[in-house]
Amino acid sequence: MSSLTNRYGSPKRRLAKKTRKALIIGGLAVGIGGAFYLAWATDSQIEFKDNSFSVESPTRASALVDITKDAKDTAQCEIRALNESKAIVGWKTLVLGPTEGTGQETLRYDVKLRTESLAVTAGVEECKIIDAT
């Protein structure tokens, strides 16, 4: 046996079952904690709601939307109009700067859109915070 030990080194010892189990549980806990952190850290502090829309002509539509954000934040919202086949026929970027209030504020906007063809719906595509101070 000593000649094998000299040639290949001492045999490797396995971790005890308790140690292996503790390492696996610890690794899972760190992974789950990291996932929760990433979900919370990337959570945008903005909410939006489509209230109504109207199609005024084949080249005009409007959307009435509510946007809720912190008063100190600057937000960017993309408003779109879709045709019957769900293709985007009108688009507008709405930038909402900070206001003097504090805490969450909900504001209503009537967004007018020019369209390339007749729209059948209009509303918010997405909103995100672009400057949180």
Per-residue pLDDT tens digits for 114-132: 999 999 999 999 999 886 5
Spatial CA neighbour of 121 closest among 64, 81, 91, 62: 81
| 111 and 51 within one domain | yes
**Cα angle 35, 36, 39; round to 5:** 85
DSSP-derived 3-state class of residue 20: helix
Write the CA distances from 111 to 3, 23, 25, 54, 117, integer angstroms: 84, 55, 52, 10, 17
Q: What is the mean pLDDT of the chain?
A: 87
* Whole-number Å distance between alpha carbons of 113 and 84: 16
Domain that holds residue 34: 2-41
| 126 and 61 within one domain | yes
| 7 and 54 within one domain | no
Residue 43 reports pLDDT greater than 60: no
| 50 and 33 within one domain | no
| 32 and 52 within one domain | no
pLDDT band at 42 (very low <50, low <70, confident <90, very high): low
| 102 and 75 within one domain | yes
Q: How many domains does the chain have?
A: 2
| 72 and 25 within one domain | no
